[in-house]
Amino acid sequence: MIITCPSCKKKFNIDINLIPTDGRNLQCGSCDHVWFYNKEDPIPETLQINDDITIQENEDSNKLNDDVSKDQTIKELVKDNKKVKSELSTNKETESKPEVIKKTQSSKFFSYLIVFIISLGALIILLDTLKTPLINIFPGLEVLLFNLYETLKDIKLFIIDLS
């Protein structure tokens, strides 16, 4: 049973067995308002016989038939629209598939190239940072690191000369 607080109009779902037939005090959990609630027996509405029932049924069935025919025409239009869209999409897919494959392959290549260059740069920075401890452990590494740095300087000058 749904009971509404008269103060704040909040609705609560309360078990009907918790309220005795002569009523009881209730307290709102939201605004703490206390009020007396008495069960109300709903009075069933009396049914009246209507002579125009057959006429109304005929009118309702005619409206229903009109609605059904309208629904069918709308469904047919939607189906036709879906067919046209599917045909257009298949045409676009067949026309653009080779281009899409080329674009994804070239974009993957450049993505891998960029990751490789960034990783190589990070490795060189790490080697430069730890140059002294590494040379102490591996004495022959000093010549290799010197040659690596000279090669990188030459590549930098070559790129500057190109532009």
Q: What is the identity of the amino acid at 132?
A: T
Query: Which residue numbers in the chain have pLDDT < 50?
Result: 42-45
CA end-to-end distance (rounded Å), the chain = 83
Give me the DSSP letters along 78-138.
HHHHHHHHHHHHHHHHHHHHHHHHHHHHHHHHHHHHHHHHHHHHHHHHHHHHTHHHHHHH-
Residue-wise pLDDT for 8-54, tens only, equals: 888 888 888 888 888 888 888 888 888 888 877 544 445 555 555 55
Distances from the Cα of 110 to the Cα of 44, 56, 76, 114, 156, angstroms: 78, 74, 48, 6, 20
Q: What is the pLDDT of residue 44?
A: 45
Write out the two tokens for 85: 């869209």
Model pTM score: 0.34
Q: What is the pLDDT of residue 74?
A: 76
Q: What is the pLDDT of residue 160?
A: 92
